[in-house]
């Protein structure tokens, strides 16, 4: 590894130790909280918009956020490891097929919208283990099975299904 890369890697570990930056991608709607110093006062300003570009370059990583304010498009480029960057929050994940979304600059209204990426949840239910008092004997299970009616065949009224049965 190059000496410069080693120094950058050490510095990157020091800088990113105290940061709270969630993982985001181009197309995601994010809220960036930036520290602003005005004279002796220090405050945090929020900038919410769509991430249209992300440049991963080690310590020089940056991302571009675009929003439309009062009919005008506003873009800001943020350095990912800047000391002025307070936090980055993910508001909404976007479904895009490009890494750079510069085409959004030319669009307005409905054509500038980005579909939302919906994450599917696994439908696994956790079954609680039975307590010692709730242990069921085999005889009671057999009785329950015998009491249940046998499944009956049901004919569907769909003509496509009847054609398949004849074949």
Task: Specify if 88 maps to a domain.
Answer: yes
Task: Specify if 151 maps to a domain.
Answer: no
pLDDT in tens, 99-139: 999 999 898 888 888 888 887 766 666 555 555 555 556 66
State yes or no: pLDDT of 145 exceeds 80.
no
Name the domain count of the chain: 1
Task: Specify if 162 maps to a domain.
Answer: no
1-5, 15-19, 64-68, range with the lowest pLDDT: 15-19
Looking at per-residue pLDDT, the higher value among 148 and 163 belongs to: 148
Q: Summarize the confidence of residues 64-75 as an average pLDDT.
A: 93
- CATH number, domain of 93, equals 2.30.30.790
Task: Specify if 120 maps to a domain.
Answer: no
Helices (H), 36-158: 138-147
Task: Specify if 75 maps to a domain.
Answer: yes
Q: What is the rounded distance in angstroms from the CA atom of residue 114 to the CA atom of residue 27?
A: 7
* 9-to-3, 21, 28, 107 alpha-carbon distances in Å: 10, 18, 27, 39
Place of tokens 């570990």: 13
> What pLDDT shows up at residue 89?
92
> What pLDDT shows up at residue 134?
58
Bridge-partner residues for 38, per DSSP? 41
Contacts of 156 (CB under 8 A, 6+ apart): 162
Domain range for 37 is 3-106
Task: Specify if 91 maps to a domain.
Answer: yes
Task: Specify if 39 maps to a domain.
Answer: yes
- The DSSP H or E segment spanning 51 is strand 41-55
Query: From the centroid of its chain, how far is CA 30?
Result: 11
**3-state SS, residue 117:** coil
> What pLDDT shows up at residue 31?
95
């Amino acid at each position: 590894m190059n000496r410069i890369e080693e120094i950058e890697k050490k510095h990157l570990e020091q800088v990113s130790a105290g940061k709270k930056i969630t993982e985001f991608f181009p197309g995601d709607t994010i809220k960036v909280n930036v520290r602003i110093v005005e004279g002796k006062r220090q405050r945090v300003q929020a900038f919410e918009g769509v991430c249209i570009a992300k440049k991963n370059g080690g310590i020089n990583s940056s991302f571009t956020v675009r929003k439309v304010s009062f009919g005008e498009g506003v873009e800001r480029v943020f350095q990912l490891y800047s000391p002025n960057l307070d936090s980055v929050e993910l508001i909404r994940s976007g479904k895009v097929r490009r890494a750079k979304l510069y085409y959004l600059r030319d669009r307005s209204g409905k054509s500038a919208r980005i579909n939302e990426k919906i994450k599917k949840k696994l439908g696994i239910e956790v079954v609680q283990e039975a307590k010692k008092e709730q242990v069921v004997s085999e005889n009671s299970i057999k009785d329950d099975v015998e009491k249940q009616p046998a499944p009956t065949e049901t004919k569907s009224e769909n003509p496509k299904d009847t054609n398949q049965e004849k074949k």
